[in-house]
Copies of this chain bind each other. A is one copy, B any other.
């Protein structure tokens, strides 16, 4: 039974259990031609301030996560093309949130102009890959921490 409907998520009660439901999301560990990881810094009202995160976005209706990921990376950073692979997928807060996130790694990307959504204000930040390990304590977001750790492990770094 749906007990509340918002623009970004809804609240269901199933067998007495309360669940916040969203369409799910995709996020990208994107590495540019200079071996830098591309992050975005933006205000996140739910987190009470600015947060440094992987590029990411909500899945549009009937979209497969890879298409979401490629669209969001292009919009937020301008990066396009390249070689993509899936790193992992997981529930972000399975105690009360029905929200599944799929993580991709993208390499050999081409530079281009960002195409930001008019509602989005974000700064693109690039970290040399060999600095990521030492800067993990600057990360305050679950998907970003998991994605960077998985990517470093995949690269054998």
Contacts and interface: CB of A to CB of B under 8 A. Distances in A.
A18 interface: yes
Contact of A19 (B4, B25, B46, B51): B46
24 contacts: A6-B13, A8-B96, A9-B20, A11-B20, A20-B46, A20-B96, A22-B96, A46-B96, A46-B98, A47-B98, A48-B98, A51-B94, A53-B94, A56-B95, A58-B95, A89-B140, A90-B140, A91-B141, A92-B97, A92-B142, A93-B142, A97-B99, A142-B143, A145-B150
Interface residues on A, range: 35 or more
Interface of A: 3-4, 6-9, 11, 13-15, 17-20, 22, 25, 44-48, 51, 53, 56, 58, 88-99, 101, 136-137, 139-143, 145-146, 149-150, 153
A141 B51 contact: no
A36 B119 CA distance: 47
